[in-house]
């Protein structure tokens, strides 16, 4: 099966790696698992926290479970480093559980891409912190991309 290319393609530059990161952020903020899965190779392998995920159908199922639990999800990703076909990202997202408690999840991801620009490996480490409603920093409309004028992680001083 031939997979469609997903530019920008490796090897990455600072500019193309940043484009790849923002495209991933935008897609995850829209929260359409079937569309998101198309950015990953059909045999993509993930480690998300302690969960191992293989292939697009498992990615879709994982994202459906994730957003059933993590309501009102809003995400910011930021390029940390890149080399050839790999990108390292740091991120933060805010979400609310079924009881109404808000959380900020902070983490990092290591991404590896195939020649078609599809992510073939994603390794994510994430920590969740309960936060007060007043401590929230991500206030754009839910299920939309982060507005261009919204501060990034560095501007928000989130580490």
Residue by residue, pLDDT tens for the chain (159 residues) are 468 999 999 999 999 999 999 999 999 999 999 999 999 999 999 999 999 999 999 999 999 999 999 999 999 999 999 999 999 999 999 999 999 999 999 999 999 999 999 999 999 999 999 999 999 999 999 999 999 999 999 999 998
What local confidence, expressed as pLDDT, does residue 101 receive?
Answer: 98
DSSP for 75-137, written as a single string: EEEEEEEEETTEEEEEEEEEEE-TTS-EEEEEEEEEEEE-TTS-EEEEEEEEEEEEE-GGG--
Dihedral angle over CA of 150, 154, 11, 13, nearest 10:
80
CA dihedral (33, 34, 37, 43) in degrees, to 10, reads: 130
- Note the CATH number of domain 14-156: 3.10.450.50
Write down the pLDDT at residue 159: 83
pTM of the predicted model, to two decimals? 0.96
Q: What is the pLDDT of residue 2?
A: 61
pLDDT of residue 53: 98
pLDDT value of residue 3: 83
Residues in contact with 11: Cβ distance below 8 Å, sequence separation at least 6, in sequence order: 84, 85
């Amino acid at each position: 099966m031939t997979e469609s290319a997903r530019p920008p393609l490796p090897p990455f530059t600072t500019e193309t790696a940043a484009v790849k990161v923002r495209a991933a952020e935008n897609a995850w903020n829209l929260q359409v698992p079937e569309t998101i899965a198309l950015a990953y190779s059909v045999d993509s392998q993930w480690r998300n926290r302690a969960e191992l995920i293989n292939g697009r159908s498992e990615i879709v199922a994982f994202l459906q479970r994730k957003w059933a639990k993590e309501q009102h999800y809003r995400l910011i990703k930021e390029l940390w480093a890149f080399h050839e076909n790999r990108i390292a990202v740091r991120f933060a997202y805010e979400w609310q559980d079924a009881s109404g408690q808000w959380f900020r999840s902070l983490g990092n991801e290591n991404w590896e891409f195939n020649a078609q620009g599809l992510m073939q490996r994603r390794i994510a480490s994430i920590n969740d912190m309960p936060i007060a409603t007043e401590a929230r920093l991500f206030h754009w409309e839910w299920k939309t991309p982060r507005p261009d004028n919204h501060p990034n992680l560095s501007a928000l001083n989130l580490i």
